[in-house]
Amino acid sequence: MAEPSFFAAGDLVAVLTGEPLGRTLDYRAPEGGCHAGAFVEVPLGPRRVLGVVWGPGEGGFDPARIRAVGRVLDAAPMGEAMRQFLVRAADYTLTPLPAMLRLATRAPGLADPPGPRRVYRRGQVAPDRATEARARVMAVLDDYGGAAFTLSELAGLAGVTTSVVKGLAKQGALSEEEAPRDLPYPRLEAGQPGKALTEEQEAAAASLRAAVAGGSYGTTLLKGVTGSGKTEVYLEAVAECLARGRQALVLLPEIALTADFLARVEDRFGARPGEWHSGVTQTERRRLWRMAGEGGVGLVVGARSALFLPFRDLGLIVVDEEHDTSYKQEDGVLYNARDMAVLRASLCDAQVVLASATPCLETWVNAEAGKYRRLDLGARFGAADLPEMRAVDMRAEALEPGRWIGPTLAAAVAARIGRGEQALLFLNRRGYAPVTICRACGHQIGCAHCDARMVEHRFLGRLVCHQCGDSQPMPAACPSCKAEGRLAPVGPGVERLAEEVAARFPAARVAVLSSDLFASARALKDKITDIARGGADIIIGTQLVAKGHNFPALTLVGVIDADLGLQGSDLRAAERTFQLMRQVAGRAGRAERKGEALLQTFQPEHPVMRAILSGDEDGFWRAEAAARQAAGMPPYGRLAGIILSSPDVQAVFDFGAELARRAQPLRRIGAEVFGPAPAPVARVRGRHRVRLLVKGPKGAALQGALAEWLAQLRPPASLRLAVDIDPQSFY
Ligand code: ADP
Ligand code: ZN
């Protein structure tokens, strides 16, 4: 049944708001009428709230009491495909629809009245009096280049009062201007030729172009080692999409990667795309959100939440590094942007390209089954070959206590930097040391609010909890036995590794890349650019460096502890280690020089380690797939995690046990419930955490059964319940 697309003044319309009401509300269309999908402001009790006209009113309320829509906002109505997407995404993730709508309306100033807004940018003169507050404002301006900010945003980012900003404007250190109406983005020249592609690249590009030209839904796995030209190839699909007047979205897992990507787009298409991530100013976010809806932006590059922009006509979604765990949002609405990209595309006749050197098992299986098409890029572009990978058997290495770089790796580093090449040492542990122990009493310093050890960050001079972020100064005495001067670090973090490197290679320039060492995304970007230009000899990094950065002079990758990811009982431990090791190794030898990767391991005979070294990738995936199939685990079965948390430990276990007892709706579809069991991290921010795991057969109607199951019980007020469909982490 086709729904009306326009409602005349006085018609009953159903409006969906972001309020947790569990249903739409009826209003009367305002004077002048409104379109289906229109963004509106409606009265709700004494307040006015933002909403979207969802369809015809449902009726059944006292007609005399139905109020009129307050006003229609100055934004393009949300298209029907987008509305459907939100409904389906809400159903899939068992998220209330209003919460889904809130994800899709994160546009600052959406409800602002039309008309100019005042914005601030850097002015002509330096501040006359340099107070600390003023310096912070100027630092924010530096961080964002030439960006403009509204008063409240600038004050907020700098952590100062608005009067500081106004004071700076008054003396000319800031210029104050009326921002024009949000302008469309410059057009990308889709017709410009790209780089001359190799035969293999051209075949892949032609296939993607044809798919986009077909104008219907489809998903393609674009698989190729880092450096094989995947980006070059999918930019051809972008060109085709733009040439057809449709919009394209490229999702990247890491803000720091966008700088490189933006430059490439500008090279290729003569202008920059719209950018959507946490490092973009509110003024730009507002503009992009609007332009997505109006069709005033052709290409958007962004983080996972860009998937919820109200594109007017989305024809292509690229998910680059599709295996990356950051595509899974782990708080608030729990969704996987990769899977939601496929859903969204299927509803708006768009193509999806999943690009990766190491796709996740789900994607690999979908490609094997023919649900996704698969395009392979075999060789690296140009002379560069995949690095040679070797295990260093740590059982045979003489290692002094407190050191982590074995003689074999140390010699390799010395040789590389001696030739003016770069070496990367990979250790996926932030901070100085993961454990701080008292040598007098054996006490290990833990977080007061979480079931986790405090991690020493010597750079900050503090102990930090990686679960809740709480921190404290490094104490002088043991908190337990009060002995002074007996606290000692145990195990390495990147900061401690940096000390070892400085001691072993005193002449080398060392750069540590760890997210916590940089004050802003821009500072990190600058550092990465500097390293790429040769600004460091030895790079020490966490998994931050595994993600697609291009360091041409880098020829050696040393993995300090290749066994790290294999510990623990995570379903995906093998898969993750395999991906991470290959990604990291792929950093070496991206330009002409041949690279080498050394993996320090105590178990070189471990099947995962052997698969990594042998390079028999499909063999690894087949074995991993067979193991999952035998266990009925994803993607051959379905999982859902239920995470309960409460300050009251008894309440959380009791509720979990009660849920487990009432599992009839789940059994009906052949699913089982495991638990309740204390979560691996059993307490976070003072809340006790308990998990249940639901495991069902593939193809079962899991969401419906889960909803029915959970509806039987009302959690006590202090208890939080989160449902994690297709969980990726089990902490
Ligand atoms: P991937 O995305 O697979 O890691 P890229 O597309 O980033 O690979 O390509 C790696 C490098 O090789 C980039 O610097 C890219 O510009 C270059 N490159 C790839 N293909 C070509 C080509 N056909 N002509 C010129 N340069 C290319
Ligand atoms: Zn904590």
Q: For 410-429, how does the pLDDT look when each residue is reduced to its tens digit (9 = 90+)?
A: 999 999 999 999 999 999 88
Decide whether any atom of ligand 1 lies within 6 Å of the 228 Cβ: yes
Whether 498 has a pLDDT exceeding 70, the answer reads yes
Contact between residue 656 and residue 690 where contact means Cβ atoms under 8 Å apart: yes
Contact between residue 608 and residue 574 where contact means Cβ atoms under 8 Å apart: yes
- By residue count, the chain amounts to 731
pLDDT tens digits for range 318-377 = 999 999 888 988 888 899 999 999 999 999 999 999 999 889 999 999 999 999 999 999
Gap from CA of 594 to ligand 1 centroid (Å): 16
Ligand nearest to the CA of 260: 1
Q: Which of 224, 227, 210, 221 is nearest to 338 (CA)?
A: 221
More confident call, 565 vs 433 = 433
pLDDT of residue 13: 95
Superfamily of domain 6-104: PriA, 3(prime) DNA-binding domain (3.40.1440.60)
Q: Hey, where are the domains in the chain?
A: 6-104, 117-179, 199-275+299-377, 388-429+492-624, 637-725
Q: How confident is the model at residue 656 (pLDDT cuts 50, 70, 90)?
A: very high
Ligand 1 atom 14: residue of nearest CA: 227
On the question of a common fold for 6-104 and 117-179, the answer reads no
Gap from CA of 484 to ligand 2 centroid (Å): 24
Q: How confident is the model at residue 58 (pLDDT cuts 50, 70, 90)?
A: confident
pLDDT of residue 380: 63
Ligand 1 atom 26: residue of nearest CA: 195
List of E strands, 602-671 = 637-646
Mutate to test the pocket of ligand 1, among 231, 261, 266, 377 (most ligand atoms within 8 A of CB): 231
Q: How confident is the model at residue 468 (pLDDT cuts 50, 70, 90)?
A: confident
- 56: exposed, middle or buried (C-beta count within 10 Å: 0-12, 13-18, 19+)? middle
Q: Which helix (H) or strand (E) holds 708?
A: helix 702-711
Strands 25-28 and 47-56: unpaired
| CATH architecture label of 117-179 | Orthogonal Bundle (1.10)
pLDDT of residue 607: 82
Whether 451 has a pLDDT exceeding 80, the answer reads yes
Segment 6-31 mean pLDDT: 91
Mutate to test the pocket of ligand 1, among 261, 381, 549, 554 (most ligand atoms within 8 A of CB): 381
Is the preceding omega at residue 715 within 30 degrees of 0, hence cis? no
Whether 384 has a pLDDT exceeding 70, the answer reads no
Three-class SS of residue 529?
helix
pLDDT tens digits for range 169-180 = 888 888 888 776
Q: Which amino acid is at 473?
A: P
Whether 243 has a pLDDT exceeding 60, the answer reads yes
The mean pLDDT value of the chain amounts to 88
Q: How confident is the model at residue 300 (pLDDT cuts 50, 70, 90)?
A: very high
Segment 53-60 mean pLDDT: 88
Buried/exposed 149-185: b ≥16 CB within 10 Å, e otherwise: bbbebbbebbebeeebbebbbeeebbebeebeebeeb
CA angle (504, 505, 510) in 5-degree steps: 120
Decide whether any atom of ligand 1 lies within 6 Å of the 232 Cβ: yes
Instruction: Please tell me the least confidently modeled range out of 46-55, 457-466, 615-624.
Output: 615-624
Ligand 1 atom 22: residue of nearest CA: 197
Decide whether any atom of ligand 1 lies within 6 Å of the 472 Cβ: no
Whether 313 has a pLDDT exceeding 90, the answer reads yes
Instruction: Please tell me the least confidently modeled range out of 136-140, 288-292, 491-495.
Output: 136-140
Contact between residue 547 and residue 527 where contact means Cβ atoms under 8 Å apart: no
pLDDT tens digits for range 552-601 = 888 898 999 988 877 665 677 778 888 888 888 777 766 567 788 899 99
Tokens matching residue 156: 């907020």
Decide whether any atom of ligand 1 lies within 6 Å of the 583 Cβ: no
pLDDT tens digits for range 179-217 = 767 788 999 998 888 889 999 999 999 999 999 999 999
Q: How far apart are CA 510 and CA 95, in angstroms?
A: 46
Percent of the chain with pLDDT over 70: 96
Give Cα 671 distance to the centre of its chain: 30
More confident call, 1 vs 278 = 278
Most confident by average pLDDT, 128-137, 315-324, 608-617: 315-324
Strands 351-356 and 314-320: parallel
Q: Which of 657, 652, 666, 668 is nearest to 717 (CA)?
A: 652
Q: How far apart are CA 98 and CA 51, in angstroms?
A: 9
| CATH number given to 388-429+492-624 | 3.40.50.300
* CATH 3.40.50.300 assigned to 199-275+299-377: yes
pLDDT of residue 322: 94
Mutate to test the pocket of ligand 1, among 230, 232, 592 (most ligand atoms within 8 A of CB): 232
Neighbours of 488 (CB within 10 A): 12
pLDDT of residue 1: 42
Segment 650-679 mean pLDDT: 91
Sequence-separated (6 or more) residues with CB below 8 Å from residue 630: none
Contact between residue 105 and residue 37 where contact means Cβ atoms under 8 Å apart: no
Superfamily of domain 637-725: Ribosomal protein S10 (3.30.70.600)
Sequence-separated (6 or more) residues with CB below 8 Å from residue 262: 272, 273, 275, 301
Decide whether any atom of ligand 1 lies within 6 Å of the 243 Cβ: no
Nearest ligand 1 atom, CA 195: 24
Sequence-separated (6 or more) residues with CB below 8 Å from residue 633: 571, 639, 695
- φ, ψ of residue 505 to 5 degrees: the values are -125, 70
Q: How far apart are CA 21 and CA 85, in angstroms?
A: 20
List of E strands, 238-387 = 247-251, 274-276, 299-302, 314-320, 351-356, 373-377
Q: How far apart are CA 60 and CA 628, in angstroms?
A: 51
Percent of the chain with pLDDT over 90: 51
Instruction: Please tell me the least confidently modeled range out of 36-50, 96-110, 376-390.
Output: 376-390
Instruction: Please tell me the least confidently modeled range out of 114-118, 464-468, 611-615.
Output: 114-118
Segment 303-318 mean pLDDT: 95
Segment 14-30 mean pLDDT: 91
Q: How far apart are CA 719 and CA 550, in angstroms?
A: 46
Tokens matching residue 633: 């685990």
pLDDT tens digits for range 9-21 = 999 999 999 988 8
Q: At what angle do helices 617-631 and 607-614 cross, to 10 degrees?
A: 150
Segment 685-692 mean pLDDT: 90
Ligand 1 atom 11: residue of nearest CA: 227
Decide whether any atom of ligand 1 lies within 6 Å of the 39 Cβ: no
Ligand 1 atom 25: residue of nearest CA: 195
Biggest distance spanned by C-alpha atoms of the chain: 85
Instruction: Please tell me the least confidently modeled range out of 21-35, 229-243, 427-441, 566-580.
Output: 566-580
Q: How far apart are CA 222 and CA 211, in angstroms?
A: 13
